[in-house]
Structure 1
């Protein structure tokens, strides 16, 4: 014990004589390799969820750091991946029986433009030609042959917009009034009719679409018979003028002067207004809302004169061709006379159009009858209704873009000599979103 006590002061004295040693600088922590995936206890397999069990619980971070602080995993959660040898253990979704792929997949549809072309075929005597098949027809669009997808000879129900010209002369208007009762006899209970009239700058809708055999249509036809206009020749000068005796350019008797005032003897005749374009456009606007399964028809009873409309003939024809509307007409009055009716189709500059109905019928695939008597007008109703109902219907898918707002020419041919038959169809159309299928 004494030896130990003697040695202690010596060692302390030896240490005090040497300079104190500097403490070593600790090195940076060495990078730790991540734990292998096989050591991860909490596996997640697609379709099965977490694989943790009570037999192999995942160690808590606190326990891991206490037992092995050097290999402790970081606190941030690492994304886990299934092992490479993992095999799918759950089956895929199997749709029910008789269920197509639409229920579980996305289908990309390619839309096409379905063009419907009603065709009328007549022989050299004007009679309808029945019994033709799709093999007898060839159809072209913009000079390219088209494949006929649908061919039908079934009659279609008609949606008819009657447009009655009430600006006719008194004698012609009386004949039209007597023939109006035959309109219902030319139609079936499956058809529907709307009535329009015009006698001035604004056309009128007499009734909306109603059943062709309804009592309402019969009553409206009976209550809206017009008297027509007087056919007078305006006299602007001479012995029959309003002021035939003048002195120094003024009427001797001011009471004879137009306007009952002294002044010049010039008289301006009242201009006639025949808003046929506006009347057809008004009917076409209502007709464009009818079901696509109906044949859309505008039937005009008029002398064909046009003057004073806001819409031009070209604009109205484009609207008709876009909405698949056909125009049929019965010419009455001066335009129905032989020779004069043909000459009236030509427009004289700075004058009213004497007859624009041929342009409408040719551009839409309709037809035109010229009748003067009551009996002829009544037969015209029946003839045109029969023609519109018994047309051949051809449907093809256009090769052009389904909507481009460009006019497309159509040419329908029948495998028969041209001298024996006459083919009537619309010469073209404008594409519409209604035709997309």
Structure 2
């Protein structure tokens, strides 16, 4: 999500999905209680990866904004966790602090990304390092040439290993020499990643966390990180490599790991994928990469124009297409309004 001001030119890159680019202006079904007839909607079980998808992208639709605009990225899935593409503006409704807002701008976006990979190198990752490296490689296969990436590794402390680069091989080569040792400073790593995002060149920003447990070595607290992610305009995705709940000998930090990662991800409009079988890692990482290529962007000018610096809660609803199973939407839960 972002707040844009002063006649900003927002280039919303439209994807060709199924039957093609969809018109954005139709009668608003939210006012009639109906959804459009014969919607050109499709479920995408395996969208194309970065290079292949980039070759099919069409020109941008330029949208000129003359007032404050709030942008919300939305992912829509079906009950089988497959991406739902081809929806247009009429299928979405949006509220800010319980007041429904008019969606004035809409796009299906595959714009350049700035992504931070946050990689757990603590001692407990020893047997999981090889598959974690493969997961990173699969994620990078979904990248487009305009994307940029950085690498943060953490054990006893968090460290920026590779600054922003377009060369994903540089990051993969660095991961080749990673050794598992020490404790887990996960919260410090999240703080460092969000701080480093201030150097991002692209407006769309995401963080991917690969970790096997909770935190036991950070200076920053969970409360501080919760507040930080609410302020940051960054989607956070997490892959939690957790032992089965029935396993013995798990520490309190490891037991709290799933809930911590899930809370951080949900707050930002990202998602948390708990994984018990390490062999699933590469496929899950690739799925996250593809998800970032299959998002909708909803833009609205808030009815509340007070520049009070307060947190505004956002809710999105998808109007159910006829004949489709129940759909689920993921979005950033809110943002801080500008202050005076």
Corresponding residue of 2:311: 407
Query: Which ranges in structure 2 are unaligned for 5 or more consecutive residues?
Result: 1-65
Q: Please, what is the CA RMSD of the aligned residues? A: 2.8
Corresponding residue of 1:210: 165
In the alignment, is the contact (CA less than 8 A) between 1:121 and 1:128 conserved in 2? yes
CA deviation string 1:156-184 (max 9, x = no partner)? 21111000111134222343245443342
Highest relative contact order (Cα 8 Å, sep 6+), 1 or 2? 2
Structure 1 residue 227 corresponds to structure 2 residue 180: yes
Shift of 1:364: 0.7
Q: TM-score, normalised by structure 1?
A: 0.56
Query: Which ranges in structure 1 are unaligned for 5 or more consecutive residues?
Result: 1-110, 230-272
Corresponding residue of 2:39: none
Cα distance in 1 for partners of 2:246, 2:207 equals: 25
CA deviation string 1:264-301 (max 9, x = no partner)? xxxxxxxxx4221110010001113323x432101000
- Of 181, 193, 216, which aligns to 1:307? 216
Shift of 1:309: 1.9
Cα distance in 1 for partners of 2:68, 2:190 equals: 27
Larger Cα Rg: Structure 1 or Structure 2? Answer: 1
In the alignment, is the contact (CA less than 8 A) between 1:163 and 1:300 conserved in 2? yes
Of Structure 1 and Structure 2, which has the larger fraction of its residues in strand?
2
Match runs of 1:104-253 below 5 Å: 113-167=68-122, 168-200=124-156, 202-213=157-168, 215-223=169-177, 225-228=178-181
In the alignment, is the contact (CA less than 8 A) between 2:318 and 2:328 conserved in 1? no
- Of 326, 331, 349, which aligns to 2:240? 331
Cα distance in 2 for partners of 1:159, 1:112 equals: 26
Cα distance in 2 for partners of 1:209, 1:388 equals: 18
In the alignment, is the contact (CA less than 8 A) between 2:72 and 2:297 conserved in 1? yes
CA deviation string 1:121-157 (max 9, x = no partner)? 1011111111111111110000001111210103121
Q: TM-score, normalised by structure 2?
A: 0.71
Query: May I ask how many residue pairs the two structures share in their alignment?
Result: 269
Corresponding residue of 1:354: 257
Give the secondary structure class of the aligned counterpart of 2:84: coil
Deviates more, 1:124-133 or 1:317-326: 317-326
Match runs of 1:93-104 below 5 Å: none
In the alignment, is the contact (CA less than 8 A) between 1:113 and 1:402 conserved in 2? no
Give the secondary structure class of the aligned counterpart of 1:148: coil
In the alignment, is the contact (CA less than 8 A) between 2:152 and 2:158 conserved in 1? yes
Label 1:179 to 1:412 Cα distance change in 2 as closer, same or farther (>3 A): closer
Corresponding residue of 1:424: 330
Cα distance in 1 for partners of 2:167, 2:307 equals: 35
Cα distance in 2 for partners of 1:386, 1:403 equals: 36
Label 1:276 to 1:151 Cα distance change in 2 as closer, same or farther (>3 A): same
